Amino acid sequence: MEMKRYIASIMLCMAMSVPVHAFTVVIDPGHGGDDPGAIGRIAREKTLNLNAALQLGEMIKEAYPEVDVIYTRQTDVFIPLHKRADIANKNKADLFISIHSNASDNRNASGAETFVLGTERMEDNLDIAMRENAVIKLEADYQSSYEGFDPNSIDSYIMFDLLQSDYMNQSLQFATLVQKQFVDSLKRGDRGVRQAAFLVLLRTACPSVLIEMGFISNRDEERFLASEEGKIGITRSIFRAFSQFYRPGKAVPALLSDTVVVPTTEQQIAQAREQQKVDITYKIQIFSTRKKLPKNDPAFKGLKNCTCKKDGVWLKYMYGSCKTYAEAKKLQATVKKKFADCIIVAFQGDEQILVKRAIELQK
């Protein structure tokens, strides 16, 4: 009996001596090394991102010693996007925070915004997703690592139409808290919580956000981002959002209070059904070209009445018109005999939308 008590006592002491980490947060400073990100007049994005990430990590460790803080990089090095996500997944992260600084050809663009993975209004945010995803071209054999994904091809983003984040609600919760802190505490311009097709968020198996702290291309915002006031203010805002999201002693994030309402995907779909007339049409996109073709051009291989939609410098040629996805699949099978790479595209009225969105709206 005494021996059992002795062994039990030793085991208890050993258990007490091992720190318990109930929560792991991975902080990702965007860009780095040969990838400077956006370049301003007095600052580089990769440096601003790294400073903010390290400061945020120190704040979290000081306030919550039980939290594991892991960085994707702590120095000026280049880390491929898929490896950043691997770091989060291998460490079983409970939250992934990717920190960036924005840029735009419009020098007056300003404000902070926080992104989650998603396809809602993806077309509106495609330019920033393309810019952030373009970093994969610095990686050796990126075509293989990302299964043929081309960050500059609109067609490549169709893959996001077929994927749904299992952590959407929690990602939206944290993103909402971050934006609220930026606006209420720091008085930054509010560009809102948005969805976009970021590869680094796609590959993380946990709630994940990508924060754009402000526009380095805007002279006033660049000065603020590079100033001590700006650096401390931004990291404190993100830290306060983390404090609201994380409940000490719990293995899972706290839920938002009743004062902050983030609709679920199902609620958003229900609202869309009520507010919008569902007028969905599916077509088969057969190819894209920069050249305007006559109706009887041999490139159509005998298909009649093909339609054309301009997308930037590209002209997308489509065939057929179906009211249901099932009908479109049958038509696609027929068209594949002539155009093996043809795809289904969807329209709500005259606006092209994601196929998954069209299917959901028709349910």
pLDDT score for 150: 61
Please give the C-alpha separations between residue 206 and each of 36, 236, 247, 249, in angstroms, as whole numbers: 27, 23, 17, 19
**Which residues, in sequence order, are bridge partners of residue 322?**
282
Greater model confidence, 104 or 358? 104
This prediction has a pTM of 0.57
CA distance 359 to 363: 6
pLDDT score for 254: 38
What average pLDDT does range 62-91 have in this prediction? 91
Give the alpha-carbon dihedral of 169, 170, 171, 176, to 10 degrees.
Answer: 90
Q: Is the pLDDT of residue 289 over 80?
A: yes
- With a CB cutoff of 8 Å and minimum separation 6, the contacts of 7 are none
Residue at token pair 């490139």: 299
Confidence bin at 151 (pLDDT 50/70/90)? low
| DSSP one-letter code for 37 | -
**Which residues, in sequence order, are bridge partners of residue 311?**
314
Asked if 231 and 119 count as a contact pair (C-beta separation under 8 A), the reply is no
Asked if 219 and 41 count as a contact pair (C-beta separation under 8 A), the reply is yes
Residue at token pair 């983030």: 262
pLDDT score for 44: 95
Asked if 171 and 115 count as a contact pair (C-beta separation under 8 A), the reply is no
Q: Is the pLDDT of residue 71 over 90?
A: yes
Please give the C-alpha separations between residue 209 and each of 72, 179, 283, 337, in angstroms, as whole numbers: 14, 11, 33, 42
Taking only the tens place, the pLDDT of each residue in 342-355 is 889 888 888 888 78
Greater model confidence, 357 or 295? 295
Q: Is the pLDDT of residue 136 over 70?
A: no
**Which residues, in sequence order, are bridge partners of residue 211?**
99, 114
- Length of the chain (residues): 363
Domains of the chain listed by start with CATH number: 19-262 (3.40.630.40), 270-362 (3.30.70)
Of the chain, the percentage scoring pLDDT greater than 70 comes to 71
Least confident of 15-24, 220-229, 267-276, 296-305: 267-276
Confidence bin at 117 (pLDDT 50/70/90)? confident
Conformational region of residue 94, where left means phi above 0, alpha means psi within -120 to 50, and beta covers everything else: alpha
Give the alpha-carbon dihedral of 32, 35, 37, 39, to 10 degrees.
Answer: 100
Confidence bin at 163 (pLDDT 50/70/90)? very low
Amino acid at 231: K
Please provide the average confidence, as pLDDT, over all residues in the chain: 78
